[in-house]
Structure 1
């Protein structure tokens, strides 16, 4: 299970990184076209805001958790006993898994509904709405899978060795 999750995380993070690179290139090309040729690329902001930013945000979310880079309020954690930390981490991870599973299911249902209704976002190009939901569904489902796996490891061995510990600031 761990290796499947890691392959999915690496693939989704790679895709998010590629989309980040494409975003930077599109913004640069749009700026050059705007200031040198007085003719910006009309669809640039649409594709970035409708698709690329969604991919960048959601497909990297599970790998971000694995690296320990999500925001964590450790004001109380530092004062907890190891057992209380374990219980807190397990409960919070399970709750987060449920929340992101609801997001994954809801966005999948919205994606199917949008596809069946043949919905498009208006702009310079008519962009299909359902494509915006795809990375939300995939990223949320992957994070839920990672969190459930994390909880199972915490409950079975008391730790999750697959997570990287964040560096202290």
Structure 2
């Protein structure tokens, strides 16, 4: 069983790193697209059609959702630690798992409804409302993938708490 958990952790870690690379690539693409759009708009009076929509519907989604689980494992998500040092240890041992269970529930809902939306968008051929009319199902899938990876990592932190290292900043 322990070998299976370690193998699964490695597979999830690899998918996570690929997603993080996609997130970083999206930041670079967004920077280049915005720069080209502004340059085209200001210098040539000709913006890039659909650049705002591509940024909103694809690049922002991939930047946020593809990086969530990696950031979670690194302990990089925003946490309110101002009062933690004043709370007794037994209370923290009780509240931290409760917060993780709430997070797991919340992101499970995002995963479930994101998957439903992805399937619906594929079934009906949902496209962007901009002039390019590109398909939206891949963007919904990116959201679903990122939320599902985060659910796996939150579940891991609940059932195998020693695997996730939190740093107090």
1:110 maps to what in 2?
117
C-alpha offsets along residues 56-92 of structure 1, whole Å, 9 cap, x if unaligned?
0111111121222222122442222333222211111
1:143 maps to what in 2?
150
Q: Please say if 1:120 is aligned against 2:122.
A: no
Instruction: Note the C-alpha offset of 1:24.
Output: 0.2
2 CA distance for matches of 1:149 and 1:161? 7
Distance 1:128 1:13, change over 3 A: same
Instruction: Note the C-alpha offset of 1:51.
Output: 0.7
Q: Which runs of 5+ in 1 are unaligned?
A: 155-159
Q: CA RMSD in A?
A: 1.6
With the length of structure 2 as denominator, give the TM-score of the two structures: 0.88
Q: Please say if 1:26 is aligned against 2:28.
A: no
Paired residues in the alignment total 162
Q: Choose the corresponding residue for 1:55, options 62, 84, 88.
A: 62
In 1, are the aligned partners of 2:110 and 2:144 still within 8 Å (CA)? Answer: yes
1:89 maps to what in 2?
96
Q: Which runs of 5+ in 2 are unaligned?
A: 1-7
2 CA distance for matches of 1:106 and 1:78? 37
Q: Please say if 1:16 is aligned against 2:23.
A: yes
Counterpart secondary structure, 1:128:
coil
1 CA distance for matches of 2:167 and 2:9? 17
Q: Please say if 1:3 is aligned against 2:10.
A: yes
Distance 1:75 1:165, change over 3 A: closer
Q: Choose the corresponding residue for 1:35, options 29, 32, 42.
A: 42
